[in-house]
Chain A
Amino acid sequence: MAGGGAEFALSASFQRESRLPQTRLAIISYVIVGLMALLLLGFWKLQIINSDGYAQLAERNRVRTYPVIAPRGSMFDRQGRVLVDNYPSFSVLLLRDDAQEVQRLLPQIADGLGLALSDVQQQIDAAKSLPHFQPIVIKPEATPADIAFIESHRTDVPVLEMLMVHRRRYPRGGFLAHASGYVGEVSADQVDASGGRYRPGDIVGKTGLEKQYNEQLMGTDGQRRVIVNSVGREVGRLEQTDATPGKPIRLTIDEDLQAIAEQDLAGKRGAVVVLDPRTGEVLALASQPSYDPNDFAIRISGDEWKQLNDDPEHPLLNRAIQAQLAPGSMFKIFMTAAMLESKAIPADYKVFCPGYAEFYGRVFHDAEKDHGEVDLHKAIVKSCDVYFYNVGQRLGIDRISYYAMKLGLGRKTGVDLPGEDSGLVPSEEWKERVFHQKWYPGETISVSIGQGATVVTPMQIAYTIGGIAMGGAFHQPHLLMSESPSPEVDFPISESTTDFITQAMWGVVNEDGTAAASRLPGIEFCGKTGTAQVIGAENKQRAGKQTQTKNNAWFVGFAPRRNPEIVVAVLVQAGGFGAASAAPIARDVVKAYYDKKQGKVPPVLETRLLPNSAAPATPATVTLPAAAARPQPVSKKSDVPPEETPSDNTDR
């Protein structure tokens, strides 16, 4: 210090001034002031000029909007038993605010959730048109492993979130599948057509009642706005719009009868329709083979869908309303009605049946044997073809088709299910219109016994036969329980005709007729068998004996004989004789109906569950055994309305 100090000690203050580079120090001051001013300008630009844009970005950082999924309304049977409901589940949401971030994390996400990278990419591409702040579901059904993955990677994979959803559950797998239908993700076309009602990703009814009553069943989703921190963890809540749950619907279906029908039909191809002809209420509607609608409740893969669609057994086809087949001998009821109502042929008209008859140079065989002398009653009871060949020839096709149409064939019944087919009743006009050909009188002979171009659906048969037995009052079939009576089409049939037909049909079952084996002691069970050739008689002859084609078996029955309460139509495709394979099913259903009516414990119903239908949340077998073991009240008045049934999804 001493040396330096001594040297500097000499310098006077003016010397110091000159020795220090004052100019350069001043320059540095100016540079500092200039730089600071520049930086302040930068802040001005951000905080004053562009402030609004950044405020929006900050808000988007801070707030996330999640949908609150509305539970779909449940379906109950006529006694308030659960047929279709929901269970709580989790979906995996992908937050797409930061597209680059999502792309970067995509391989990790696909790996962590066990999804194919291409599949995830495809879903992201499909949602490109949606606003970026709207998350998309990339895995509808989160497994416990998925949930663990999301929770443990909140920091490094912050774009995944879980969403509580109500997953549709069909507790008994394939049970009632064709009536209930299934739900699935709304299609792009449906979104466009809905005028804003549906948004992509919504779950809507695709078929059956799910589709028919989608508006009631589907609620309105709410939304939840939450404050999240930088790693996506929820730290606070903003306003919430609650979801409006869908309304439950109560069906006319009787779970016990449905179970009998499905059980009897199991392993066959066919359908059962059970109606109350007084009201049009559908008590049971079964179609086999069936499918598990639960498979659709979670996103169904393209492969699975293709497999179901390409199945030669056509499990997705609702045979109750979509199988259009020749009615066979059941058509004789319509012939009888036409004959008696038109009075073109006297009621006591008789024919000698040698087992065949010749018309227009062609031999028409009787399906069975020679019946000897046959009157109308015997012709129905024994199902004599020769008798009705003659009736048909005398009535002519136009009279036949007029009455068949008036009695409800050849048009939709109007049942509240989508996709019903109308069947067909041929006429001269129809042939001219469709084939531009003249009607050959020989065709009338085939039509007379329910062959030829005539086709019907099981629903139509139940509807028309029920209406005929009611004296010509046809109640539109419906599955939704309603207080007001369903629309009625009247085509009054005279008392005597109704009496005659119901008496004859009683005879079919109770007078050593074709369905005598299905007699029910103490019950006035009436019916008519039908055995319809799958291909025409002439084609069959040509094909020879090698042909594998078995006849379609039909049966339609009702009880009691006067003012029937229940009508059952049964179709068993390739079932052979109607009496052998179709009639016993109808008998079982009618018997169960009467057992219940008399307060007897309904038969213990086998709970058939398809292997993969068990929903993870609760055992799917819960409802039925208990319900089946409990004696059910007889009176319909004591039915539990769906509003009062405890439902697990309305007040969460």
Chain B
Amino acid sequence: MKQGSSVHDYDWWLMAIVFAICGIGILEIWSATHASHFAGMQWRQIWWICLGLAGMLLLSRLDYHAVLDKAPILYLVALLALTAVLAVGHTRFGAKRWLPVLGQFFQVSELVKLIIIVVLARFFNEVRTDRLSLGDLVKAGVLTAVPLGLILLQPDLGTAMVLVPVAVVGAFLAGIQWKHAAVILLAAAMMLPVGWHVLKPYQKERVTSFLRPEEDPKGSGYQILQSKIAVGSGGFWGKGLGNGSQNQLGFVPVRYSDFILAALAEELGFAGVFTALVLYTALLLRLIQNAQRAKDRAGMFLVMGVAAILGFHVVVNVAMVIGYMPVTGIPLPLMSYGGSATLFVFLALGLVMNVRLRRFVN
């Protein structure tokens, strides 16, 4: 039987959705930065997308089972890299998140997200039962908690939180028992206020507005307000690309990245937002469809890990833009400007393609 398959077997629908989202993103990055000293940022984003596509193709050629085999080593690499970041990492904006690789600074935590998907996919796959035992649940929790704790130390609450849905979705699909889920939810609900009290005042402040101090001279409340003003003033059809005053005059914070949807909402209106959200929904549903058609549980867990992270990103970011959630610094996948983040999404999609390409392989 032939290994892999023809170009036919790539998920072209998925790719179309991805390109559409990237296209909107590039347009809005251009609009948000063309009149500022960031001008030309869209070209760098395009470059990252190309790099990501190459990485995706490369990763899709590899058999994902081989990747799963290397999970323990990858996990160790992840922990080592996170420790290295804390030890010798590059500090930017008050947090240690960057390691220099080939003259570029990479956010190690993006790589860790990918590894956690692989590690948890392998773990849940090996459980091989439809009823997840308490012991296995705790093990999965510990596997997630160690890198999560290291990322929290950077500190990067946003990225740390992103690891949680991978474990949650994994546990759900692996057959978590309702009583366990209820106990965890209850415990989490009770721990939340306790945990808040344990935090020192400066930590609380970090939790609330820990991100991007350079863009945040006025507190995160101001950012949310300006974002909402941008969104609200856009109306149904928007003010037109390049015409949003909130966007062009810099009232929208980090308008080319975390708050790019606010810029889009102002300039392209509800129509633009609707289009974007429909595209994201389609992307996520398409991922789930790929999981449903995966050849085995391992493939399904891989795809759903990717879906969990992307879904979490989309929901948290969009909710932040309209003030439903605090500012956490979680970008909108494929639309926000960012090298490491874009690269991560394409590599994750590479895993998905990998699973898809092998669904008929016996």
Binding site for B on A (CB under 8 A): 1, 4-5, 8-9, 11, 16, 19-22, 24-25, 28-29, 32-33, 35-36, 39-40, 42-44, 46-48, 50-51, 53-55, 57-59, 61-62, 101, 155-156, 227-231, 235
Expressed in whole angstroms, the Cα–Cα distance for A9 and B65 within the complex equals 13
B322:A58 contact, CB within 8 angstroms: no
Does B218 make an interface contact (CB < 8 A)?
yes
Instruction: Report if A19-B296 is in contact (Cβ < 8 Å); known contacts: A1-B63, A47-B234.
Output: yes
Q: Offer 17 A-B interface pairs, CB within 8 angstroms, sorted by A.
A: A4-B68, A24-B173, A25-B300, A25-B304, A32-B311, A33-B281, A40-B273, A46-B265, A46-B322, A47-B235, A47-B236, A51-B232, A51-B233, A58-B229, A58-B246, A61-B229, A231-B250
Does B69 make an interface contact (CB < 8 A)?
yes
A47:B229 contact, CB within 8 angstroms: no
Q: In the complex, which residue of chain B has the Cβ closest to the Cβ of A17?
A: B292
Does B280 make an interface contact (CB < 8 A)?
yes
Please report which residues of chain B, range 251-266, place their CB below 8 angstroms from some CB of chain A when the two chains form the complex.
251, 265-266
A43:B229 contact, CB within 8 angstroms: no
B130:A54 contact, CB within 8 angstroms: no
Q: In the complex, which residue of chain A has the Cβ closest to the Cβ of B273?
A: A43
A1:B250 contact, CB within 8 angstroms: no
In the complex, chain A residues whose CB is within 8 Å of the CB of B234: 47, 51
A53:B232 contact, CB within 8 angstroms: yes
In the complex, chain B residues whose CB is within 8 Å of the CB of A5: 65
Binds A, one of B10-18, B82-90, B199-207, B283-291: B283-291
B250:A229 contact, CB within 8 angstroms: yes
Does B315 make an interface contact (CB < 8 A)?
yes
Expressed in whole angstroms, the Cα–Cα distance for A586 and B203 within the complex equals 83
Does B181 make an interface contact (CB < 8 A)?
no
Please report which residues of chain B, range 79-132, place their CB below 8 angstroms from some CB of chain A when the two chains form the complex.
130
Q: In the complex, which residue of chain B has the Cβ closest to the Cβ of A54?
A: B232
Instruction: Report if A42-B277 is in contact (Cβ < 8 Å); known contacts: A48-B235, A55-B233, A61-B251.
Output: no
Which interface residue of A11, A25, A29, A50 has the most chain B CB atoms within 10 A? A25
Expressed in whole angstroms, the Cα–Cα distance for A8 and B69 within the complex equals 15
Looking at the assembled complex, report how far the CB atom of A635 sits from the nearest CB atom of chain B, in whole angstroms: 63
Expressed in whole angstroms, the Cα–Cα distance for A1 and B63 within the complex equals 8
Please report which residues of chain B, range 229-243, place their CB below 8 angstroms from some CB of chain A when the two chains form the complex.
229-236
Please report which residues of chain B, range 302-337, place their CB below 8 angstroms from some CB of chain A when the two chains form the complex.
304, 307, 311, 315, 318-319, 322, 324
In the complex, chain B residues whose CB is within 8 Å of the CB of A44: 270
Does B193 make an interface contact (CB < 8 A)?
no
Looking at the assembled complex, report how far the CB atom of B110 sits from the nearest CB atom of chain A, in whole angstroms: 23
In the complex, chain A residues whose CB is within 8 Å of the CB of B177: none
In the complex, chain A residues whose CB is within 8 Å of the CB of B245: 58-59, 61-62, 227
Looking at the assembled complex, report how far the CB atom of B262 sits from the nearest CB atom of chain A, in whole angstroms: 10
Which interface residue of B68, B265, B291 has the most chain A CB atoms within 10 A? B291
In the complex, chain B residues whose CB is within 8 Å of the CB of A24: 172-173
- A-B pairs, top 5 by smallest CB distance, nearest first, are A54-B232, A58-B233, A230-B250, A229-B249, A46-B232
Looking at the assembled complex, report how far the CB atom of A7 sits from the nearest CB atom of chain B, in whole angstroms: 9
Which interface residue of B232, B296, B315, B324 has the most chain A CB atoms within 10 A? B232
In the complex, chain A residues whose CB is within 8 Å of the CB of B295: 8, 16
Q: B interface, how many residues as a size bin?
A: 35 or more
Contact with A along B200-222 (1 / 0, CB 8 A): 00000000000000000110000
B250:A32 contact, CB within 8 angstroms: no
In the complex, chain A residues whose CB is within 8 Å of the CB of B322: 39, 42-43, 46
In the complex, chain A residues whose CB is within 8 Å of the CB of B173: 21, 24-25
Expressed in whole angstroms, the Cα–Cα distance for A5 and B63 within the complex equals 10
Expressed in whole angstroms, the Cα–Cα distance for A52 and B68 within the complex equals 54
Expressed in whole angstroms, the Cα–Cα distance for A582 and B300 within the complex equals 113
Instruction: Report if A62-B249 is in contact (Cβ < 8 Å); known contacts: A39-B315, A54-B232.
Output: yes
Expressed in whole angstroms, the Cα–Cα distance for A156 and B216 within the complex equals 11
Expressed in whole angstroms, the Cα–Cα distance for A59 and B245 within the complex equals 8
A47:B285 contact, CB within 8 angstroms: no
Does B298 make an interface contact (CB < 8 A)?
yes
**SS class, residues of chain A in contact with chain B:** helix
In the complex, chain A residues whose CB is within 8 Å of the CB of B296: 8, 11, 16, 19
Does B66 make an interface contact (CB < 8 A)?
yes
Binding site for A on B (CB under 8 A): 63, 65-66, 68-69, 130, 169, 172-173, 175, 217-218, 226, 228-236, 245-246, 249-251, 265-266, 269-270, 273-274, 277, 280-281, 284-285, 288, 291-292, 294-298, 300, 304, 307, 311, 315, 318-319, 322, 324, 362
Expressed in whole angstroms, the Cα–Cα distance for A230 and B324 within the complex equals 23
A25:B277 contact, CB within 8 angstroms: no
Looking at the assembled complex, report how far the CB atom of B207 sits from the nearest CB atom of chain A, in whole angstroms: 21
A57:B297 contact, CB within 8 angstroms: no
B249:A21 contact, CB within 8 angstroms: no
Looking at the assembled complex, report how far the CB atom of A95 sits from the nearest CB atom of chain B, in whole angstroms: 14
B318:A39 contact, CB within 8 angstroms: yes
Looking at the assembled complex, report how far the CB atom of B323 sits from the nearest CB atom of chain A, in whole angstroms: 8
In the complex, chain A residues whose CB is within 8 Å of the CB of B228: 46, 54
B233:A28 contact, CB within 8 angstroms: no
A61:B175 contact, CB within 8 angstroms: no
Of B66, B230, B281, B324, the contact of A1 (CB 8 Å cutoff): B66
B270:A227 contact, CB within 8 angstroms: no
Given contacts A4-B298, A61-B249, 15 further A-B contacts (CB under 8 A): A1-B66, A1-B69, A9-B362, A20-B297, A25-B304, A39-B319, A43-B265, A43-B277, A44-B270, A47-B231, A48-B235, A51-B233, A54-B232, A58-B230, A62-B249
Q: In the complex, which residue of chain A has the Cβ closest to the Cβ of B307?
A: A28
In the complex, chain B residues whose CB is within 8 Å of the CB of A59: 245
Expressed in whole angstroms, the Cα–Cα distance for A11 and B294 within the complex equals 12
In the complex, chain A residues whose CB is within 8 Å of the CB of B292: 20, 22, 25
Looking at the assembled complex, report how far the CB atom of A631 sits from the nearest CB atom of chain B, in whole angstroms: 61
A35:B315 contact, CB within 8 angstroms: yes
B249:A227 contact, CB within 8 angstroms: yes
Expressed in whole angstroms, the Cα–Cα distance for A231 and B249 within the complex equals 9
A28:B270 contact, CB within 8 angstroms: no
In the complex, chain A residues whose CB is within 8 Å of the CB of B315: 35-36, 39
Looking at the assembled complex, report how far the CB atom of B39 sits from the nearest CB atom of chain A, in whole angstroms: 15
In the complex, chain B residues whose CB is within 8 Å of the CB of A55: 232-233, 235
Expressed in whole angstroms, the Cα–Cα distance for A29 and B280 within the complex equals 12
Looking at the assembled complex, report how far the CB atom of B68 sits from the nearest CB atom of chain A, in whole angstroms: 8
Expressed in whole angstroms, the Cα–Cα distance for A230 and B255 within the complex equals 12
In the complex, chain A residues whose CB is within 8 Å of the CB of B130: 21
Looking at the assembled complex, report how far the CB atom of A633 sits from the nearest CB atom of chain B, in whole angstroms: 59
Expressed in whole angstroms, the Cα–Cα distance for A391 and B335 within the complex equals 109
In the complex, chain B residues whose CB is within 8 Å of the CB of A20: 291-292, 294, 297, 300
In the complex, chain A residues whose CB is within 8 Å of the CB of B218: 101
Q: In the complex, which residue of chain A has the Cβ closest to the Cβ of B280?
A: A36
In the complex, chain A residues whose CB is within 8 Å of the CB of B246: 58, 61-62
In the complex, chain A residues whose CB is within 8 Å of the CB of B280: 36
In the complex, chain A residues whose CB is within 8 Å of the CB of B324: 39, 42
Looking at the assembled complex, report how far the CB atom of B119 sits from the nearest CB atom of chain A, in whole angstroms: 16
B233:A57 contact, CB within 8 angstroms: yes
Looking at the assembled complex, report how far the CB atom of A6 sits from the nearest CB atom of chain B, in whole angstroms: 11
In the complex, chain B residues whose CB is within 8 Å of the CB of A228: 249
Expressed in whole angstroms, the Cα–Cα distance for A420 and B193 within the complex equals 76
Of B226, B231, B265, B285, the contact of A33 (CB 8 Å cutoff): B285
Expressed in whole angstroms, the Cα–Cα distance for A299 and B265 within the complex equals 48
Q: In the complex, which residue of chain A has the Cβ closest to the Cβ of B361?
A: A5
Looking at the assembled complex, report how far the CB atom of A155 sits from the nearest CB atom of chain B, in whole angstroms: 7
Expressed in whole angstroms, the Cα–Cα distance for A560 and B30 within the complex equals 87
In the complex, chain A residues whose CB is within 8 Å of the CB of B175: 21
B231:A28 contact, CB within 8 angstroms: no
Expressed in whole angstroms, the Cα–Cα distance for A62 and B266 within the complex equals 14
A57:B229 contact, CB within 8 angstroms: yes
In the complex, chain A residues whose CB is within 8 Å of the CB of B251: 58, 61-62, 229-230
A36:B231 contact, CB within 8 angstroms: no
Q: In the complex, which residue of chain B has the Cβ closest to the Cβ of A47?
A: B270
Instruction: Report if A36-B277 is in contact (Cβ < 8 Å); known contacts: A25-B288, A57-B233, A58-B230.
Output: yes
In the complex, chain A residues whose CB is within 8 Å of the CB of B250: 229-231
Q: In the complex, which residue of chain B has the Cβ closest to the Cβ of A5?
A: B65
